[in-house]
Structure 1
């Protein structure tokens, strides 16, 4: 009898209009929804992403959308509790969203203790033109993420840069297992706080 697929609940968190829903949609391989006028892109609570682990296990990463509740600082605590991970998103073109994101990160910490600490990654999003150069704000993000041992990625839903890499790293931290590479990827300017090593089970 096949075992039930395990779900990992991840909240995609950041200020209004930093590209959270676009990231969720891209990772769920649902990018054509932008071309379908009959579908409301912002009327969806979560997106499911299937991930195959190197052990042969299959999991579902459920990416929860804040559905604009963060717009008025009205995000219910139920959205933050009981999460396995967080994708922290800021707009690389708007430095103020990094400061706001750091405050949101501090809020999440108040809901967790040593017994269960969720995994985190940071997406410096909308980085289509900033892949080869670092802004002052991005360097600040790097320094902050290194201090807190969080992996930081420059991402873009226009080019797809580093989105799957960031999700894979989050999965590794949540499951302590390495995901199977879903397709050949070419990383662009990934900043890691630690060197990623190939899991023995994938050799």
Structure 2
């Protein structure tokens, strides 16, 4: 309780203790002028001090509020700064992950392209080798076929020549020995020649 409030309480207590005037229905009291004057003088004297005290309290309150506001603003600014830094860090991390994923995708695509090209080249080489081998075999087949045809033709010519010679010899023998003897000999020799001819054809 302040001093002014204490003096006011004392004045109220003093008034309550004063006797009422007769025949006033307790609406008027009898007070001692000296006592009430002393209380009022003390009240007047203490009032400026109390006012200064309250002004100081109010001033201090304003200073406290101002300081609190400054601290709050500083805290808000720092929090905002930290939030911005966290957002920036998050953005940096997000971009870093995004770039890393892009690099991984590019590397994977390049590796796949290299593998595909290698497989394609290998297939081309294999197909080329198969074509080359087939062409070589085809050429060899043609050479063998021509050789067989030439050999068959020469063999047939040789056999025809031999048959002509054989016929001449047979005819000569007929003339020397007579028809029957020569014919029998020709038949015997013809039978002996057939297995040899078959063997030579094989």
Q: What TM-score does the superposition give when structure 1 sets the normalisation length? A: 0.15
- Highest RCO, 1 vs 2 (Cα 8 Å, sep ≥ 6): 1
Q: What TM-score does the superposition give when structure 2 sets the normalisation length? A: 0.15
* Greater Rg by CA: 2
